[in-house]
Structure 1
Amino acid sequence: MKSPLRFALNRMVAPDLALADFIQMAKALKCDAIEIRNDLKNREIEYGMPATRVRELCAAQGITVLSINALYPFDVWNDERRAQALELATYARECGAQGLVMCPFNEPGDTRTDAQRAAALRTALSELAPILREYGILGFVEPLGFEVSALRRKRVAVEAIKSIGGLDVFRVVHDTFHHHLAGEHEFFPELTGLVHISGVEDREAPLNAIGDGHRVLVGEGDILGNAAQIDTLLSTGYSGYLSFEPFAESVHGLADIQQALGASIAHLQKP
């Protein structure tokens, strides 16, 4: 028996919307969970909104904060990263977030070997685990499928998590966009803590030229196979949230994002 679809909204859906209005939209769409971000200028964390205010606004509408997105680059561990991790963990605990999304180094010019990247990944996970335990939150490791990413596939993340004894505090993020980009065929439903969904409809762009700007809401023209990916996850035991995360400016500029989201939800709910 498959779990029903449970939708959430990442702040990237409508980054210019005030948090109170964003929460109202989630409520209207019957989405009872959101993700906030630390990379949106003049919004929440960057603006200096107290974590307690985020908690109050969400609690008033029965909304769960799934995560803060994101600690970056989590796999390049140093004093700066530790300070950033502690700051975000504090905010997460105070705003009631369940976890912290963690993204790997994703820039050109990384000259490290695969072995060096793997060692750095294990080091970072080992350092982060006690912080997550102390603050009572989860770490959502999100592989990025881009060719320049230091961590492209969930298999590598899962093996590293197991190797450092981190199954109690770490989960992986299954991002339908990055799963497709990485050419990954494995699913890890039992270790998946969160699913990010977005669609791509550009059939002309080569795979290695597809970027965040191509990520729209999931509809009939989707080439990522979102529906099939979601079906596989749900039929093999995943029962968590599907969080909309479109980066395309064409989505951010929509006159009625709520209507567009409703249409995407209806599309994905079709039997």
Structure 2
Amino acid sequence: MAQLHFALNHMVAPQLSVQEFFRLATSLGIDAVEIRNDLANSAILDGTSPDAVARAAREHRLTILSINALQLFNDWSPERKEEAKELIGYATACGAKALVLVPKNDGTGRADGERQKNLRQSLIELKPLLDAANIIGLVEPLGFEICSLRSKAEAAAAIDALEARSTFRLVHDTFHHLLAGEDRLFADLTGLVHISGVSDPSVSLSEMRDPHRVLVDGKDRLDNLGQMKALLAAGYRGPFSFEPFAAEVHGLEDPSSSLRASMDFLTART
């Protein structure tokens, strides 16, 4: 089995500054990170220049995999275009390789025909912006029933219809993959994997939400191990990026030791 390549999403420790977050990654022997534009301490929201982020990444010998994320990407508008251009510009300047694209998740835009049309329009509009900057668009379907793009199959079909695999890849999120009930992996189109676990035995599958998402351990109910093994067996060789949302993880006094324990657990079993 291939060796696991771990990465860290800033959501593992949102209370940390970017410098502290980069230091955490380095302390774990991790060489790849995702920065975010939705955290109070994030470089984008706090006004840190992309040049400063790029310098910090070089100091810590880190690759910035992505900026997470352009929200509502499949609800295209002039405002969305400007937001996309700003994030792509920041990605270029800080050295990020990709921009995560997150769909509407408010119960609207779900009708058959409507959602496919909206997705196609957004990909068509984003493609020249991303290509000009040499930035990859990472499409991340969300498994929630109210989401306007739950299916990786639909995302893959739209990407292939536009012959746009050089521009767009998929995010396989282990949490959302299970919630969506999809069987197909699309390992050859996957550019990034997000990993998190749910260990609470009392919550049903349909009730699972971001606050339930913890670090993966032996109590995991999402079958992260099975999903990761299947992706590796299908040829995926990209990073597995930790992305827990639970307050209990964010409140850890020593996130390094907890992350190390999860890394060791996964490494020993894949």
The answer for the alignment partner of 1:70 in structure 2 is 69
- CA distance 1:111–1:131, change in 2 (3 Å): closer
In structure 1, what is the Cα distance between the partners aligned to 2:238 and 2:106? 30
Aligned match of 1:267 in 250, 265, 268?
265
- Note the C-alpha offset of 1:42: 3.8
How many residue pairs match? The answer is 269
Question: Cα deviations across residues 114-155 of structure 1 (Å, max 9, x unaligned)?
Answer: 101100000000000010100110000000000000000111
- SS of 2:113 mapped into structure 1: helix
**120, 127, 130: which one pairs with 2:128?**
130
Deviations 1:142-184 (A, max 9, x none): 0000000000011110001111221111000000000011111
Which amino acid in structure 2 is aligned with residue 118 of structure 1?
Q
- Other-structure match for 1:52: 51
- Give the corresponding residue for 1:13: 12
Matched, 1:90 2:89: yes
- Tell whether the 8 Å contact from 2:110 to 2:147 is kept in structure 1 after alignment: no
Q: Which amino acid aligns with 2:71?
A: Y
Match of 1:219?
A: 217
Q: Tell me the TM-score normalised to structure 2 length.
A: 0.98
5+ residue gaps, structure 1, are: none
SS at match of 1:25: helix
In structure 2, runs of 5+ residues without a counterpart are none
Partner of 1:144: 142
The Cα of 1:111 is off from its aligned counterpart by: 5.7
Q: Does 1:179 align with 2:177?
A: yes
- Equivalent residue for 1:248? 246
Q: Determine what percentage of the aligned residue pairs are the same residue.
A: 48
TM-score by length of 1: 0.98
Deviation at 1:112, TM superposition (A): 4.9
- 2:227 aligned with 1:233, yes or no? no
CA shift in 2, pair 1:141/1:111, >3 Å: closer
Partner of 1:115: 113
**3-state SS in 2 of match to 1:156:** helix
Judge conservation of contact 1:32–1:63 (CA < 8 Å) in 2.
yes
Q: Is the 8 A contact 1:142 1:172 kept in 2?
A: yes
1:3–1:238 Cα contact (<8 Å) kept:
no
Partner of 2:3: 4
Cα 1:251–1:135 shift into 2, 3 Å: same
Q: How much does 1:225 deviate? A: 0.2
| Alpha-carbon distance between aligned partners in 2 of 1:112 and 1:29, rounded to the nearest angstrom | 41
